[in-house]
Amino acid sequence: MSPIITRKMDAFRTFYDFIQLKEHIKHFGAQLTVGLVPTMGALHQGHIALVERAAIENDIVVVTIFVNPKQFNNSSDLKKYPRTIETDIALLSRFNNVVVCIPEVNDVYPENDSYSPIKLGVLDEVLEGRYRPGHFPGVAHVVHNLFSFIEPTSAYFGLKDYQQFAVINEMVKQTNLEVKVEGCNTVRDKNGLALSSRNFNLNEEQINDALIIIDTLRFIKNKLDQFEIDDVLEQAKVFFNKGKLTLEYLDIVDAQSFKRVTHLNQKSVCCIAAFCGEVRLIDNILL
Ligand code: PAF
């Protein structure tokens, strides 16, 4: 990080469009490294961990807050998505080298939007892709546009959304955008529940019930040295069903291609999605 830039970058700022944001960044010179943390707001410690890492590794960090309508395949899910903009800004205001950008839909998707959809193949056919049609094309589109407008050096994503991370890497590969995509470990509460903006919609009892997710993932990890994958998954479903959640999927896939694996001879990830009441939660564990 350049010491000259650090000295100048003292004020926390919020921008509401990309033009002003870009002017602000340009002001500090071409050598500046820009870390981008794209979010949909409702920030929690998982997001803050991304911002902290981005702030260490870059001269300036841009946190975008944009609830992307294109990635919701269900309009009631979009409506229910938690929005806590004032708390979000307050949480970020303690950082010196962070600016927030809260763009409008027309900024993110302008009339002359040049994005052409990428081919996601298997990534969009299994797990999240299968159960949320249109979700990953919407994620790829918004992240592409944020990368093109903001031109970050690096961008930071939580690995709780492991499949999303794979989708974003694929989008960058296919569109030749020059940005380093960094994955950051899932942040969990003291009992192991993965932090998620959706947890804001859970009551205390549900937060407790939701622990069956991490318990099931750990159950699987522990059993895999004794049993075959398919047996372990069957046992894990029985274990999971003793809890109160409703399982949507539970599977073990290759961590890059997301193709199903039958033997653990490659880097694999066990992914789960389940409903806790009306709230859909996802998690994963690397094997
Ligand atoms: O992970 C999220 O919060 C969103 O999918 C993202 C990456 C900000 C795109 O809208």
Q: Are 287 and 224 in contact (CB under 8 A)?
A: yes
Chain-wide mean pLDDT for the chain? 94
Task: For the chain, give every domain's residue range.
Answer: 13-184, 197-286
Ligand 1 centroid from CA 283, angstroms: 15
CA distance 82 to 65: 12
Strands, DSSP E only, in 115-237? 154-158, 180-184
Domain 13-184 has CATH 3.30.70.360: no
Ligand 1 centroid from CA 227, angstroms: 36
Residue nearest to atom 5 of ligand 1 (CA): 139
64 lines ligand 1 (CB under 6 A): no
24, 27, 44, 47: the catalytic one is 47
The tens digit of pLDDT for each residue in 172-200 reads: 999 999 999 999 999 999 999 999 999 99
Phi-psi region of 192 (alpha: psi -120 to 50; beta: other; left: phi over 0): left
Radius of gyration of the chain measured on its C-alpha atoms = 20
> Catalytic residue at 135?
no
The tens digit of pLDDT for each residue in 245-269 reads: 999 999 999 999 999 998 887 899 9
Q: Are 221 and 270 in contact (CB under 8 A)?
A: yes
Q: Given this model, what pLDDT does residue 29 score? A: 80
Cβ neighbour number for residue 257 with a 10 Å cutoff = 15
The number of helix segments (H) and strand segments (E) in the chain equals 12, 9
Q: What percent of the chain has pLDDT over 90?
A: 91
The matching CATH number, chosen from 3.40.50.300, 3.30.429.10, 3.30.1300.10, 3.65.10.10, for 197-286 is 3.30.1300.10
CA distance 261 to 214: 21
| DSSP per residue, 151-171 | --SEEEEEGGGHHHHHHHHHH
The tens digit of pLDDT for each residue in 43-83 reads: 999 999 999 999 999 999 999 999 999 999 889 999 999 99
b/e code 65-76 from CB counts within 10 Å (16+ = b): bbbbebbbeeee
- Name the residue type at position 254: D
